[in-house]
Amino acid sequence: MDIKKSISQKGNIIMLYWVDDTDRIVLENRYEDEKLGICIAYVDNYDEVKSNTPEVNRPLVLAEIDKTISAYATKYNGFMRKYENDKYLLIFENKNLQIIQQKKV
């Protein structure tokens, strides 16, 4: 390398310095993707369904509601917990929650 080409007209040396931020950016994206999103699901007309369903079929219908919501949570690698008769808590990673939101639009 010719030193004369690297030195400016005033005799100053120009130095360039690069920082590889790839690992930090990958970690930052991973952190954003793995944040947890909490959803609350209410089953509309749950009491009506419960009261209008014959006593014999009631457990089957209510179990089918639980199964459907659980399958939905599992489909998106989520977690489901029933905390009242008609209320469910669903927890998803942010990346899966964004996929759900995109599909609902």
Task: Give the model's pLDDT for residue 4.
Answer: 52
pLDDT given at position 96:
95
Q: Which residues pair with 92 in a beta bridge?
A: 37
The type of residue at 57 is N
Q: Which of 36, 27, 42, 24 is nearest to 98 (CA)?
A: 36
State residue 82's pLDDT score.
Answer: 94
pTM of the model: 0.73
How many CB atoms sit inside 10 A of residue 78's CB? Answer: 19
For residue 64, the domain's CATH number is 3.30.70
For residue 21, what are the domain limits? 3-104
What is the sign, positive or negative, of the torsion defined by CA atoms of 94, 99, 103, 105?
Answer: positive
Q: Could you list the pLDDT tens digit for every one of the 105 residues in the chain?
A: 444 555 556 667 788 888 899 999 999 999 999 999 999 999 999 889 888 989 999 999 999 999 999 999 999 999 999 999 899 999 999 999 999 999 975
- Number of domains the chain contains: 1
